[in-house]
Amino acid sequence: MSEFSPSRPARLRRSVLSVPAINRRALDKLSSLDCDAVIFDLEDSVSPEKKAEARENLRAFFAATPLLGRERIIRINALSSNFGADDLALVVELEPDAVLLPKVDEPQDVTGVSDRLAEADAPEDLRIWAMIETPRGILNAAAIAEAGRTAGSRLDCFVVGLNDLRKETGVPPQPGRSYLVPWLMQVVLAVSAYGLEAIDSVFNDFKNAGEFEAECGQGHSMGFAGKMLIHPNQIEAANRHFGPDEAAIAEAEAIISAFAEPGAETLNVVNLGGRMVERLHLVQAERLVHKARLIEQRHGAVVAPRTDA
């Protein structure tokens, strides 16, 4: 399925800010922030006795605040918990862009929710995001991604959760994430094989700007579409590192122009300034330029260059 299909439109996901649904002050600030997407968290950041209040906060927020141009995702509690069914009912009621499922371990975790959303007549463009944050989730990443591309499935994106994964495996938090890189790349490979996207894990020490910048550069180089954030101070760096720079945009536009030349419509390879460019690069170029235009539309400004190039 094409990335530009109506049910899976291209999205900006450089900066994905997680906000506890119980925190009304944080919710009130969202309209002034430059993040690409917001995860409204009903799970880990909300204590059991506050779950109902958090759901009411989201009802009020969605009624008053459209957050135009930004993706809205609600992270629910596991359906096996005492809160998951009410959370999913709220998702059907509010119709966000996506529902984020915690601790997805196997394909049935996704397909089961797809079936429940279909039974509730939820809009087809209400997508599913999957938290990959357990050893089983990492091991089954490819199978989960494959199942998410079957007819009727709504899977659109993976989010890596390293806090839980570290806890279950005993791998300590270290700069560079050297012992975690193989698992991170396994997730990127899985989503790439099935036309999905992956969001890199949170960086907990939000006051450590240097290490956060380095981790953003690493995540971008790995192939992640963006980064999950826990503080507004992290938005600017994530947007810069995961966004296209001016040189990349110019090259993409040149590739598109080359394939648009008379006679090139039947070619799989064209000569671009002495370099052979394949048609597969045209798809990548169109995707990059489309996202650059989305950034320009929201900001009305030239895209800022990355510093990690």
* CA–CA distance, 99 with 90 (Å, rounded to integer): 10
User: pLDDT 10s digit of each residue in the chain, 309 long?
Assistant: 334 444 455 789 999 999 999 999 999 999 999 999 999 999 999 999 999 999 999 999 999 988 888 999 999 999 999 999 999 999 999 999 999 999 999 999 999 999 999 999 999 999 999 999 999 999 999 999 998 887 678 999 999 999 999 999 999 999 999 999 999 999 999 999 998 999 999 999 989 999 999 999 999 999 999 999 999 999 999 999 999 888 889 999 999 999 988 888 888 899 888 888 988 888 889 888 988 888 888 876 434 444 443
Q: Is the dihedral of CA 101, 105, 107, 111 positive or negative?
A: negative
Tokens 């990059």 locate to: 288
Contact 282, 255 (CB under 8 A): yes
CA neighbor of 76 nearest in space, from 45, 33, 120, 106: 45
**Can you spell out the DSSP letters for 64-78?**
H---TTSEEEEEPPP
Question: Which domains does the chain carry?
Answer: 15-242 (3.20.20.60), 246-299 (no CATH)
Instruction: Quote the tokens at residue 150.
Output: 């079957």
User: Quick check: 65 and 30 in contact, CB under 8 A?
Assistant: yes
75 labeled part of a ligand binding site: yes
Q: Any binding-site annotation on 164?
A: yes
Is-above-0.85 flag for pTM?
yes
- pLDDT for the residue 297: 83
pLDDT tens digits along 105-154: 999 999 999 999 999 999 999 999 999 999 999 999 999 999 888 767 89
